[in-house]
Amino acid sequence: MIERTRGREGSDRGALGKEADFTLQQHSPPTTHHPTSSKRLTLNGPRLVFVNGDLGEPNAAGATGSLHLTGEALAFHGPRGCGAYLGSALAGEAAQAPSLTLTPLARAQATIVITAATSTCYAAVFPLLGKAPPGRYQATFTNDLGDQATLAVPLTIRTPSATRWPWMPTLALVAHDADSLSAALATAAANVSGAVITLAPTSPEQPITLSAPLLLPNNTVLRCDGAMGRLAASDAACPVLYWKPTGSLSPVIGLRPPASPSLPTRVRLENLRIVIAGPHAGVVSFTQPTQDAAAVGLQISLDPASDTDSMAMGALFTVTATATGLLLANSSGVHGGNCSATHWPHNTAIYVSRAAGSRVHNNTFTCGCQGYSFDSPANLIVTNNFWRSVGAIVSEGSGISTFTTGVAENVYFAFNTIIGNPDSAKRFESFTYDGPNGVYFGNVTDVSQDGRVLTTGNVTHTGGNKPHFADGGAVTVMAGPGLGATARLAICPPPLTNDHTLCLRDALPLTLAPRASLLTATAFRGQMVFEGNSFVNGTTFQLYGAGLNVTIAGNRFHSFGNVGSWGLFYQGAYQPCAFNSFLGNVLENGGNLHALGQAPPPDAPPYSGALAFAQIFRANRLCGRSSKVHHSGSIDGLLMENTLLYDAGSVTLDSTVFNAWLYNTSNATSPDICQLWSADHRRA
């Protein structure tokens, strides 16, 4: 049956939200950071990359309304400050915690100063605590050294209101069983203003057995009672959604086709227990564009009739269309997976394509197949998740790729734990970039006066399997005047849309010389931070081609393989790595820390230059004979300083590495040097 518990919107605010300020998807547009040429450079100044709201998720104390800022040089003091990653605990406390000054743009309001609740070298969280009314603000950040930077675009603070999704849909419905749930969904579909469907318990407790996929209409919340996103395992207030499919593979929970295909769908799943007893195409599967969608507090478990059934169970979360403001949090689940057929990048426990301004936080995944896959993201925060590989046929196989759009940028991937499975028959990467291919490799023949239009040889509009001739791709000067300079591709306006022109958002920061400057145009994978993660029993962590401006800081790699950058050979273009930093990482009982410029294959266009530029290694620690450093292949520009070893393997620099400077590699007397960061490892 359907029970209407609330007739008018906003008449009962207590059911869904608190009278507290929320922030929702207030990320800045993707910033375009690339090296800028000048006679002056700033060192140690804070650099801001992007900021997300909390997407409505409360923190551990139940408070909502926080801003999540990512950047660089945000805090120097503290256990995760820059000082710690640079190998020197700074004496004493900082004079001030990092702070954010919000200056209202439209109204004559007082300026608001908010102190960071937590901060590291690369991220800071600011609780608003009701101080900032809705509106637009100029945001200026001050780090703990007193240096400032201002966000390039105004911040918009949003709070819940009677008309604002997802807290105040107009219709409240209750479902006890499959029939009433189906009827509730039909009612919700007819109510364009939205509906909240609450699964109510029965006595004695009965599962809600599904006979068809749950297709959620726009503006629908499907939930159980319980603290938001904090469902206890024994919470009897929530009936189990039980799925035993018999027909063709389909997702368990999906989206109803929208009335207008151009509008994104908004749904929220909250505090649900789901048991899967047969093959499916994904538990939660969003295959059309979403905005502000959320899956919070889900407990997904398997009850397969056979191993065959288990193998045919799809991903826990599959998001294959543009997802803006997506929140996946506080959930747990087991992924069966059919790794004998298709796998990477789709058959991972979580596959999210084109997520923008989104957050994946505090989830626990047990992976029968592969782990995680984020394709073409922007402004994505992935924090405090746990992946454990258990697949016997295939395990691991995770990373960030550019298959869909050719651009993966502004990602903060931090404090996650990733555990591999050495017993698996086939193992892929614990983390990798992927989505190779490029569109041009050759000289520039002319440069426009403003430097933003480059005349070239023939440009391939489809580099391999996907077009990368897209807004935001990367251009790098590989040889000749301008060597090492990078810029971002732009879509050429008519009449420049032809096969011998590359257009840029901004001019390359160094002067080019026609017929002497050698260019490569590739996908862009960069502007990312990997901080404080634990990789255990894994295979490799690799920036596989076209990794630009990436920081890997304060991570632990235990019983691991290669850890490093990998400038990649020709696939439509050579794919260099440049401006990457490996700071304060621990490699214990295995691991090869490296920069690599892979040699061109014999059938590639001739090229004898470097495939990795400006690679920085500082204050890394290696323990155990199988842990080593090996920089190899064609590299131009490498700095390694303050490397600390305990009973470790060799430090090797191949003769093909040029302009490399190594300082202060020393042997420690205690294995305790590799206990750094071990307290942050999440065990489950």
- Distance, in Å, from the CA atom of 258 to the CA atom of 470, rounded to the nearest integer, reads 28
Compute the least distance from the CB of residue 36 to other proteins, in Å: 7
Q: For 93-121, b where at least 16 C-beta lie within 10 A, e where not — what string?
A: ebeebbbbbbbbeeeeeeebebebebbbb
Q: Among residues 28, 99, 331, 456, which is the contact residue for other proteins, using CB under 8 A?
A: 99
Q: Report the site for other proteins in 509-538 (rule: CB under 8 A).
A: 509-511, 513, 516
Q: How many CB atoms lie within 10 A of CB 603?
A: 6
Q: Among residues 90, 117, 125, 599, which is the contact residue for other proteins, using CB under 8 A?
A: 90
Does 147 contact other proteins by CB under 8 A? yes
Does 390 contact other proteins by CB under 8 A? no
Find out whether 567 and 594 touch, Cβ atoms under 8 Å: no
Question: Between 63 and 660, whose beta carbon lies closer to other proteins?
Answer: 660
Q: Among residues 581, 589, 632, 643, which is the contact residue for other proteins, using CB under 8 A?
A: 581
- By CB under 8 A, the count of residues binding other proteins is 66
Choices 21-29, 96-104, 367-375, 457-465; region in contact with other proteins by CB under 8 A:
96-104
Residue type, 633: G
Does 637 contact other proteins by CB under 8 A? yes
Does 676 contact other proteins by CB under 8 A? no
- Distance, in Å, from the CA atom of 678 to the CA atom of 554, rounded to the nearest integer, reads 10
Does 111 contact other proteins by CB under 8 A? yes
Question: Between 76 and 431, whose beta carbon lies closer to other proteins?
Answer: 76
Among 44, 45, 146, smallest CA distance to 95 is for 146
Compute the least distance from the CB of residue 29 to other proteins, in Å: 23
Question: Between 364 and 551, whose beta carbon lies closer to other proteins?
Answer: 551
DSSP β-bridge partners for residue 631: 653
Q: Among residues 55, 67, 82, 369, which is the contact residue for other proteins, using CB under 8 A?
A: 82
Compute the least distance from the CB of residue 201 to other proteins, in Å: 49
Compute the least distance from the CB of residue 350 to other proteins, in Å: 32
Does 579 contact other proteins by CB under 8 A? yes
Does 484 contact other proteins by CB under 8 A? yes
Phi-psi region of 288 (alpha: psi -120 to 50; beta: other; left: phi over 0): beta
Structural Rg of the chain based on CA atoms: 25
Among 229, 420, 472, smallest CA distance to 328 is for 229
Compute the least distance from the CB of residue 517 to other proteins, in Å: 10
Find out whether 540 and 562 touch, Cβ atoms under 8 Å: yes
Tell me the three state secondary structure of residue 221.
Answer: strand
Choices 186-194, 416-424, 597-605, 638-646; region in contact with other proteins by CB under 8 A:
638-646
- Distance, in Å, from the CA atom of 310 to the CA atom of 304, rounded to the nearest integer, reads 6
Helix (H) or strand (E) segment spanning residue 477: strand 474-479
Does 466 contact other proteins by CB under 8 A? no
Phi-psi region of 472 (alpha: psi -120 to 50; beta: other; left: phi over 0): left
Helix (H) or strand (E) segment spanning residue 311: helix 307-311
Choices 322-330, 506-514, 598-606, 666-674; region in contact with other proteins by CB under 8 A:
506-514
Cis peptide bond N-terminal to 166, omega within 30: yes
Compute the least distance from the CB of residue 575 to other proteins, in Å: 18
User: Token pair 């910033």 is at which residue?
Assistant: 31
- Distance, in Å, from the CA atom of 147 to the CA atom of 473, rounded to the nearest integer, reads 32
Q: Report residue 250 as tokens.
A: 């389909």
Q: Among residues 20, 125, 321, 639, which is the contact residue for other proteins, using CB under 8 A?
A: 639
Tell me the three state secondary structure of residue 314.
Answer: coil
Find out whether 426 and 490 touch, Cβ atoms under 8 Å: no
Cis peptide bond N-terminal to 29, omega within 30: no
Compute the least distance from the CB of residue 413 to other proteins, in Å: 19
Compute the least distance from the CB of residue 109 to other proteins, in Å: 13
- Distance, in Å, from the CA atom of 177 to the CA atom of 271, rounded to the nearest integer, reads 17
Choices 173-181, 362-370, 447-455, 658-666; region in contact with other proteins by CB under 8 A:
658-666
Question: Between 19 and 450, whose beta carbon lies closer to other proteins?
Answer: 450
Question: Between 148 and 211, whose beta carbon lies closer to other proteins?
Answer: 148
Q: Report the site for other proteins in 20-39 (rule: CB under 8 A).
A: 35-39
Compute the least distance from the CB of residue 180 to other proteins, in Å: 55
Beta pairing, strands 323-324 & 426-427:
unpaired
Q: Among residues 23, 26, 28, 46, which is the contact residue for other proteins, using CB under 8 A?
A: 46
Does 659 contact other proteins by CB under 8 A? yes
Does 142 contact other proteins by CB under 8 A? yes
Question: Between 167 and 574, whose beta carbon lies closer to other proteins?
Answer: 574
Q: Among residues 4, 7, 62, 88, which is the contact residue for other proteins, using CB under 8 A?
A: 88
Q: Among residues 21, 54, 57, 72, which is the contact residue for other proteins, using CB under 8 A?
A: 72
* DSSP string of 67-78, one letter each residue: EEEEEESS--SS
Contacts of 291 (CB under 8 A, 6+ apart): 25, 264, 265, 266, 323, 324, 325
Tell me the backbone φ, ψ of residue 181, rounded to 5 degrees: -70, -40
Does 45 contact other proteins by CB under 8 A? yes
Stated length of the chain = 684
Choices 69-77, 207-215, 266-274, 498-506; region in contact with other proteins by CB under 8 A:
69-77
Q: Report the site for other proteins in 596-615 (rule: CB under 8 A).
A: 613-614
Does 91 contact other proteins by CB under 8 A? no
Q: Among residues 8, 40, 107, 683, which is the contact residue for other proteins, using CB under 8 A?
A: 40
Does 107 contact other proteins by CB under 8 A? no
Compute the least distance from the CB of residue 73 to other proteins, in Å: 5
Contacts of 195 (CB under 8 A, 6+ apart): 169, 170, 171, 172, 173, 184, 187, 188, 219, 220, 221
Does 113 contact other proteins by CB under 8 A? yes
Q: Is 147 exposed, middle or buried (0-12, 13-18, 19+ CB in 10 A)?
A: middle
Question: Between 5 and 150, whose beta carbon lies closer to other proteins?
Answer: 150
Which residues contact other proteins by CB under 8 A?
A: 35-47, 72-73, 76, 82-83, 86-88, 90, 95-99, 101, 111, 113, 115, 121, 142, 145-148, 480-485, 509-511, 513, 516, 579, 581, 613-614, 616, 618, 636-637, 639, 641-642, 653, 657-661, 663
